[in-house]
């Protein structure tokens, strides 16, 4: 049972001095339907809320494209979307993450408790007995396999509840909103996972020296997205290094 939490919205600083409303996790629990019906009931229950978020952001719902972008140290998950394929994405909402595990730095082996860092897609959505609803993140990718050990682990989720072993736990109410978005999106949902919004602080900290080269490469994709508001096209070379190609907006 989660402790009582204040639901609703919290004003915090995001980006270069901007103010965004962050949707806080709540203690509402949603195990009120059989597994087979849980996803459909959640999407129906949260559709009006989600439609209002998209309307306020000026993005058609259901969206043509959806991006989930998370920062581990800040424990935030941003929702970006476009109403038509190839358009610049707009920020729809920012969610507070209820729980993450591990330290800053990528996931490299099974059982290390780390939340991955990198570029992924949602592989599938499923109702989960322990965590209400879950969205499977496509870890390990080609970079993880090249840079990690022989047993990189798996089963990384964005899910309900407020407990994490390498996953992003969002609380039941908020995962229902994310489920309502993702289940309506025709295109595959992209997931970009970063250690922090403030890369410069990490690159100046010798305690994280082993990750500096990886992070410098990782944030090339973030800078490209900030310039274009389009997710870059991502590939991986034989060394595990990310390669990025600009996807110029069509609008």
By annotation, the residues acting in catalysis are 159, 167
Residues 6+ apart with CB under 8 A from 82: 59, 63, 64, 65, 88, 89, 90
Cα 226 to its chain centre, rounded Å, is: 16
Residues 6+ apart with CB under 8 A from 27: 1, 2, 3, 4, 5, 7, 171
Report the chain's terminal Cα–Cα distance, integer Å.
47
The rounded distance, in Å, linking the Cα atoms of 174 and 55 is 18
The rounded distance, in Å, linking the Cα atoms of 127 and 175 is 11
Q: In the chain, how many H helices and how many E strands?
A: 5, 12
């Amino acid at each position: 049972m989660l402790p009582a939490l204040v639901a609703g919205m919290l004003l915090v600083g995001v980006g270069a001095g901007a103010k965004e409303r962050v949707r806080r996790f709540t203690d509402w629990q949603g195990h009120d339907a059989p597994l087979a019906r849980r996803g459909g009931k959640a999407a129906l229950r949260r559709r009006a809320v989600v439609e209002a978020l998209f309307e306020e952001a000026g993005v058609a719902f259901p969206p043509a494209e959806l991006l989930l972008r998370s920062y581990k140290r800040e424990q935030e998950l941003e929702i970006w979307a476009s109403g038509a394929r190839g358009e610049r994405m707009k920020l729809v909402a920012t969610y507070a993450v209820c729980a993450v595990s591990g330290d800053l730095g990528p996931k490299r082996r099974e059982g290390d408790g780390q939340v991955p860092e990198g570029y992924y897609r949602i592989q599938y959505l499923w109702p989960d007995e322990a965590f209400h609803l879950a969205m499977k993140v496509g870890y390990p990718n080609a970079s993880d396999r090249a840079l990690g050990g022989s047993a990189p682990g798996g089963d990384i989720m964005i899910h309900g509840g407020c407990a994490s072993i390498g996953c992003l736990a969002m609380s039941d109410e908020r995962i229902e909103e994310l489920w309502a978005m993702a289940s309506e999106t025709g295109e595959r949902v992209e997931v970009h996972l970063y250690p922090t919004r403030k890369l410069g602080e990490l690159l100046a900290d010798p305690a994280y020296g082993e990750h500096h080269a990886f992070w410098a490469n990782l944030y090339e994709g973030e800078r490209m997205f900030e310039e274009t508001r389009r997710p870059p096209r991502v590939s991986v070379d034989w060394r595990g290094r990310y390669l990025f190609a600009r996807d110029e907006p069509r609008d």
